[in-house]
Amino acid sequence: MKGLGLGILTTVVGTLSFAIMVVFYVTVVSPEFMELIKTQEPFGSFLNPFLVACTIVIEGVASGFLATYGIMQFFKPSRVYAAAKVHD
């Protein structure tokens, strides 16, 4: 369970920092980019920087959780020990 907690913590920190950076970019650095997204996307008229950040956080945390869970299954102690015994 320590591995799952560490993976989720890493995912949340990385995703939140990326979402904050994107909000900063579309509000301060290049507001034209937000307008371009609004015109190009099907639901663009409903988008604002907050919704963009929420979408990034939800997708990032969900995919990070799945990746963490999958990697944990690959590195289970029983699997690692079995592989080590094969190579001895």
- Where residue 88 falls among pLDDT bands split at 50, 70, 90? low
Q: What are the residue ranges spanned by the domains of the chain?
A: 2-87
Alpha carbon of residue 20 to chain centroid: 13
Question: What's the pTM value of the predicted model, to 2 decimals?
Answer: 0.77
Instruction: Measure the CA–CA gap between 8 and 78, rounded to whole angstroms.
Output: 22
Residue with the larger pLDDT of the pair 76 and 84: 76
Give the pLDDT of residue 1.
73
60-74: pLDDT as tens digits: 999 999 999 998 888
Phi and psi angles of residue 32, each rounded to the nearest 5 degrees, phi first: -65, -30
User: 26 near 52, Cβ under 8 Å?
Assistant: yes
pLDDT above 70 for 44: yes
